[in-house]
Structure 1
Amino acid sequence: MSDEYEHDPTLLTNYLCQAYLPPLVLDSNLPAVPQYAPPWPRIEELDMNRPRLLRLVSEIPLAALQNAIRLYFMGFENRLRIDWENTRLTLPCPGITVLGPSAVARLSVCCEHDFLAALEHFVLGTAAEAVRTIERRQFDEDELEFERVLVSSARNAKKLWTLHTFGPQVPPTGLTRPGIVVVSIPPWKLSLGNLHEFSCRRMFPPGELDREFPSNTVWSNDTKLWAMVYDSCRVSGYRWFVVTTYQYWVFGTFSLDWSGAEVTPPVPFDRTRGMSVVEMLTFWLECSRNKTKYWHISANAQ
């Protein structure tokens, strides 16, 4: 590969492998989170009358995922060209694009609304535009946009958590449904320690993930998070998911019968050695849409 090709700023693959997530500037009034975030209040709506089927969580080796991503993007060679009048690729990239004053202002986060706006503008929007470029689709196709969903209580309309979906919004027509769920938790509510516990290999005995009470076993934040992710994916029918605090990213899938799941360890937002976060997210989106076979959903628990 020539140096001219490697540094060609009009190639989407060159942009994605070098684009980086700029750090958020969190307001000083937001809580500082130690290694483990304080326990979340009990979420009564997570109590289930029917069992959650998840039994086994396995780990995705990052090296294997990196190899799959590299093979996927190598297949495009120099076919994916970018028009740099395209303002929807918003992440900065050395030698290609920088942040202007208005973009820098978006990085200042004082509340959850600011957090979600930054996530959507910089990361989700860029990944969606990358998918549109790869699939040679129009920029305004609704199917290729992230949709923000506020999960609320059916009892009192209280907001429970926020997720983004990427995929068809019509009812599924088969056993599997192309698409993905991104569960976004602000970094002052979920810590790296919680994400490590969430992503480690574990077994859920029958009933453990169904109800926090009356067993008198208080769920940890990572267990609550598994219930949230399971419900978000099961309702939507999407077996591919991402959990993020912006500062860290976990990529995962559920098995065909929902009994198994596999997840990566937490990936730092500024990881650019080997693969960038936006490369991983773009690849995960294309896998979820059945556009590539370089990765598959988790195996069922045995």
Structure 2
Amino acid sequence: MSLEPAAIEAAFLDACRTEVETLKPGNVHRFAPGHGMTVETFLDAAAAAAPMIARRGSSVGERVFAATKASFEAVGVNANLGIVLLCAPLAAAAETSGRGAPSSRTDRVGALRNGVARVLAHLDAADARETFAAIALASPGGLGTRADDDVRSAPSIGLVEAMAMAADVDLVARQYCNGFHDVFDIGLPAGDSAADEVASGLGDAAALAIYLAFASEFPDSHIARKYGMETAEACRKRFESFSNSLNGIADRQERLAAALAFDAALKREGRNPGTSADLTVATLLVRNLAEARAE
């Protein structure tokens, strides 16, 4: 597969829109704002970032910095650094994964995954410098304490090596080191197996299933940075219980009420599984890229 910038941009915008229109407890969505941000914050940030993410011939580092800068200038806050960090390598892979369209969706996903591996293998110190500049601009508390300390100086190591410094505590950094394993092997199957009735009234079934899979499987990196790993693990267990209980609720209104109650409780406590949301967008982007029309 080899996609034009317009197709990559459209796939990215659709992934961002689908994610924010789905009721993801603790995170911002169309059913309720949170953490000082609204749906419009994320849609405006996505619109600003999309052309930079999809810009043909740009390196991963260039895409990350340009998209982060454009987003920050558009909304004035760090709305999508994690999304940008995850989606830039996927966009670069979709652009360079070979000519022609494999016959099946499975083949197209495989081609994209192989393309991501090639992109990651060629990341260098220039990519690291651009990425670290983006992190410093967004000031997120970003890739964990060790890597965040390093963004204050120009790195001399490649981006994957730099990400490895935080991979044990940050799921975004981890994707750079494991070939986006969690996106392809946890997020994608969760979305593919989603039942429409489970998400009825809560937004997109695949987006909800992907989000709950990540939030139930991993202590969220954003929560861990803010409150510590013990709190993040406790929140993970709450998501696991919620996910199991949601599957057992047949009535649409009861399902919505349960999700909104969990959402409100998490937001009262300041618990925002932002990394799970970022990984959800990345997974939705993979789905969209695999279904897009190749050259």
Does the pair score TM above 0.5? no
Q: Normalization by structure 1: what TM-score?
A: 0.34
Larger radius of gyration: 1
Q: Normalization by structure 2: what TM-score?
A: 0.34
